[in-house]
Amino acid sequence: MRKFRKWIKNLPIGDGCKIVLAYSGGGDSAGMAALFLSAFPRPKVELALCHINHKLRGKESERDEKMCSQIAKKLNLPFYSFKANTKPKKGESVEEWARKERYNLLERCRKKIGFDFIATAHTMDDQAETIILRIARGTGIEGLKGISKILNNKIIRPCLSLRAFELRNAANECGIEFVEDSSNKETRFLRNKVRMNLMPVIEKELPSFVEGLFNLSQIKDDSEGNYPSIAKRDGNSLYYPLRCLAVLSRKEAIDVFRAGVKAINGDLRGFSKRHFEGIANLITAKKGAFVPLPKGLCAEREDTSVCLKQKRIGAVR
């Protein structure tokens, strides 16, 4: 509880704040609820539980929703439940679709009831898994920061300094039951493979590995912000003059393009080193050279600039 109280001092919550707890019914979200209800002294906040039913596991999904409602009643907290009403697009992973759907519905709930923040129960374990996956995909320094403690000034992660087992212990100590999501055992999901197969081996040999990655994520990149923005913005497009790019090293140019993609897209999820290398190659490419990017973005070599923009529908290169 001491770690929880210390960590939430880093978050923009104070007396009178209203927080929607993203509540799956699993051990992490149950532990988060337990800590908010028992870890005193802490700011006097108003809480509500919100459960998102992705409708992916049939009767098990309905079981989880029912149990979450019962827990909310037991804890005397308002309860809201939303069902996913879309399906993954062609080529979109179930994990990515579920994440976007979950956050969209949580935000709908927050707005509907007039609350200030959404709290998710991401843990130190989630942070370690995220950083490992990003390293494997060729992340830059930005990616080593992992899961942000605050996102878009609306989403907070009050449990990032805690291990998953600590949240489960908190739930047990407070008598809050939780369920196991069977999909967390499915090895068709890469994150599950990392959690079940890789992490136990690493932690056996390096017991402080997870905490070490967490500490790494808290280190702010000293180089961040050293390169002033050289892009000219026009709507949702960024134009990088070639004369400005010419004085940068390749690494500096890639850092500038990373910042640009983040400015347009909001984050760097789905982007890898390969994408930014491709954009950097446009500096010396011929006019009209084109690099397709994730999230409907593209980069194009123009007469006197490299442009980051939304991909034109129907554009063929």
66-80 pLDDT, tens per residue? 999 999 999 999 999
In angstroms and rounded to an integer, the radius of gyration of the C-alpha atoms of the chain is 22
Q: Show me where the domains of the chain are located.
A: 2-217, 232-310
The DSSP element (H or E) to which 290 belongs, if any, is: strand 290-292
Which pair of tokens denotes residue 55?
Answer: 């409708």
pLDDT at 220: 52
The pLDDT-based confidence of 54 (bands split at 50, 70, 90) is: very high
Q: Specify the residue for token string 């390293």.
A: 135
* Residues 6 or more apart whose Cβ sits within 8 Å of residue 138: 272, 273, 274
Architecture of domain 232-310: 2-Layer Sandwich (3.30)
pLDDT at 81: 97
DSSP line for 165-208: HHHHHHHHHTT------GGGG-TTSHHHHIIIIIHHHHHHH-TT
User: How far is it, in rounded angstroms, from Cα 310 to Cα 296?
Assistant: 6
Q: Is a pLDDT exceeding 90 seen at residue 83?
A: yes
pLDDT at 303: 94
pLDDT tens column, 96-119: 899 999 999 999 999 999 999 999
pLDDT at 10: 81
Collapsing DSSP states into helix, strand and coil, what is residue 312? coil
- Per-residue pLDDT averaged across 13-20, rounded? 89
pLDDT tens column, 135-171: 998 887 778 888 988 887 789 999 999 999 999 999 9
CATH of 2-217, one of 3.30.830.10, 3.30.505.10, 3.30.200.20, 3.40.50.620: 3.40.50.620
- Per-residue pLDDT averaged across 200-221, rounded? 87
Top mean pLDDT of 126-135, 233-242, 243-252 is at 126-135
Q: Where are the alpha helices (DSSP H) in 39-93?
A: 59-75
The pLDDT-based confidence of 222 (bands split at 50, 70, 90) is: very low
Query: Quick count: other Cβ atoms within 10 Å of Cβ 226?
Result: 9
Average pLDDT, the chain: 89
pLDDT at 314: 47
pLDDT at 297: 93
